[in-house]
């Protein structure tokens, strides 16, 4: 963190809750994202832990499976967030989604985001599934 940060920022309940949730959902992939920001944008790393994971993902109104389905859908529809989509496909699988459900969500996005976005999402899913040994690449 930079000199303007409070030394206790990483000890806040929000940060701790977010870090635990990030590890629960995204595991190593999420930790790699945070680590990759360490030398260039440590504040962005902290914000990523605190807001999405400490505040939003920790809300009880939706389970993690539902949240990851929504996230995979949104990132697929954006069409320009492949690295983040791959992390969240891993996350969806980590919290109980099946590969078939992930693919179905991506296919659904063809209706709302177009075929190019859905195709890009399917290719991202293929890479994640191959990395996890679920399919041959």
What pLDDT was estimated at residue 128? 97
Q: How far from 22 is each of 71, 106, 109, CA to CA, in Å?
A: 14, 23, 25
- In a shared domain, residues 79 and 56: no
The answer to whether residue 137 is domain-embedded is no
Residues 113 and 123 in one domain: yes
Distance CA 67, CA 49 (A): 16
- 72: domain CATH number is 1.20.1290.10
Closest CA to 91 of 51, 50, 60, 63: 63
Confidence of residue 6 (pLDDT cuts 50, 70, 90): very low
Instruction: Check residue 77 and give its pLDDT.
Output: 98
Choice among 28-32, 34-38, 92-96 with the minimum mean pLDDT: 28-32
Indicate yes or no: pTM above 0.85. yes
Q: pLDDT (tens digit, 9 = 90+) per residue, 60-78?
A: 999 999 999 999 999 999 9
Q: Are 49 and 66 found together in one domain?
A: no
- What pLDDT is stored for residue 9 in this prediction? 64
Supply the range of the domain harboring residue 70: 62-132
Domain boundary among 39, 61, 83: 61
Domain membership of residue 92 (yes or no) is yes
Provide mean pLDDT across the span 85-91.
96
């Amino acid at each position: 963190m930079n000199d303007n940060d409070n030394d206790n920022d990483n000890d806040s309940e929000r940060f701790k809750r977010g870090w635990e949730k990030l590890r629960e959902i995204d595991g190593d992939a999420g930790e790699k994202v945070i680590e990759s920001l360490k030398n260039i944008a440590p504040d962005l790393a902290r914000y990523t832990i605190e807001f999405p994971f400490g505040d939003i993902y920790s809300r009880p109104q939706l389970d993690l499976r539902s949240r990851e389905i929504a996230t995979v859908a949104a990132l697929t529809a954006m069409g320009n967030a492949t690295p983040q989509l791959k992390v969240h496909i891993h996350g969806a699988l980590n919290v109980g989604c099946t590969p078939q459900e992930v693919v179905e969500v991506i296919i659904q996005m063809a209706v709302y985001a177009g075929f190019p976005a859905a195709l890009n999402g399917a290719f991202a899913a293929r890479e994640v599934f191959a990395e996890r040994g679920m399919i041959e690449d």
